[in-house]
Amino acid sequence: MQPLEYLKETPSQTAGPYVHIGLTPNTLGNPGIYPEDLGLSPIRDGAKGQLITITGHVQDGAGMIMRDALIESWQADAQGIYPGNDPRGAADPNVTGWARIIADFDSGEWTLSTVKPGRVPFPDGRMMAPHISLWVVARGINLGLQTRIYFEDEDNESCPVLQRIEHRPRVQTLIAKQTAPGQYRFDIVLQGDNETVFFDM
């Protein structure tokens, strides 16, 4: 038999307790190496679309609010085009799409200010509801967790990704609740009751 000559993906290891030294040194209090931390905002002035702010926390299975979580977000622009390598064309030049979000070192609260993304097609052409992809790492997380923020005030019923969640009440764990116009709340629960849906995609 011929050998199948694929390499294996590098195995993951936890980001550990000191991830901020590497990824957000200025915010941590170790300035002097980079002029500024990467991913401070997913948009620049002039980004088209509705400005929104999402606030939340990350909670572990013991009910503790995690103050060491680091989240990265990735999203399309208001038209549903991703910056960079989207095969459908160029995105809004004022949307970079990516942010590095850290839980507050004291309260554990995090905030993402951005524009609401547009709908993006699923591989079969159906449209996914507007969403922001998240990747969550921290001490104790052996492989970064993939999840998504959807929005309470959008039509989420027909989203082909949400439809794949068999236990329907769990869909609610992915839907940010509107607390005021343009303001949303999205808490992530790693384990236990109301455990957030995580994806293998």
Partner 1 sequence: MNPSHIERGPLFFRDRDWHPAAYTPGYKTSMTRAPFRPLVAMGSTLSEETGPAFGHSMIGALDNNLIMNFTGQPAIGERIIMHGRVLDETGRGVPNVLVEIWQANAGGRYRHKKDSYAAPLDPNFGGCGRTLSGPDGAYEFLTVRPGAYPWPNRVNDWRPMHIHISVFGSGFGQRLITQLYFEGDPLIAKCPIVKTIGNDKAIQALVAPLDMNRAIPMDCLAYKFDIVLRGRRQSFFENRKEGM
Note the residues at the interface with Fe ion (CB under 5 A).
16
Only one residue has tokens 């969550």, namely 136
Beta carbon of residue 39, minimum distance to partner 1 (angstroms, whole number)? 8
Taking CB under 8 A as the criterion, the residue among 54, 101, 120, 149 binding partner 1 is 120
Residue 136's H or E segment, with its range, is: strand 131-137
Beta carbon of residue 89, minimum distance to partner 1 (angstroms, whole number)? 9
33 binds, among Fe ion, partner 1, none (CB under 5 to 8 A by kind): partner 1
Taking CB under 8 A as the criterion, the residue among 1, 2, 3, 6 binding partner 1 is 6
Total number of residues binding partner 1 (CB under 8 A)?
82
98 binds, among Fe ion, partner 1, none (CB under 5 to 8 A by kind): partner 1
By CB under 8 A, tell whether 143 contacts partner 1. yes
Is-contact 145 12, C-beta < 8 A? no
Q: Which stretch binds partner 1 (CB under 8 A): 48-56, 139-147, 149-157, 175-183?
A: 139-147
Is-contact 24 70, C-beta < 8 A? yes
99 vs 109: CA distance, rounded Å: 16
Half-sphere exposure (Cβ direction) of 26: Cα atoms closer than 13 Å: 10
- Of the pair 101, 137, the CB lying nearest partner 1 is at 137
By CB under 8 A, tell whether 65 contacts partner 1. no
143 binds, among partner 1, Fe ion, none (CB under 5 to 8 A by kind): partner 1
By CB under 8 A, tell whether 148 contacts partner 1. yes
Only one residue has tokens 């990704």, namely 161
DSSP 3-state of 162 = helix
Site for partner 1 in 77-116 (CB under 8 A): 82-88, 96-98
Q: Are strands 145-151 and 175-180 parallel, antiparallel or unpaired?
A: parallel
Look at residues 141, 47, 177 and name the one whose alpha carbon lies nearest to residue 99.
47
30 vs 8: CA distance, rounded Å: 35
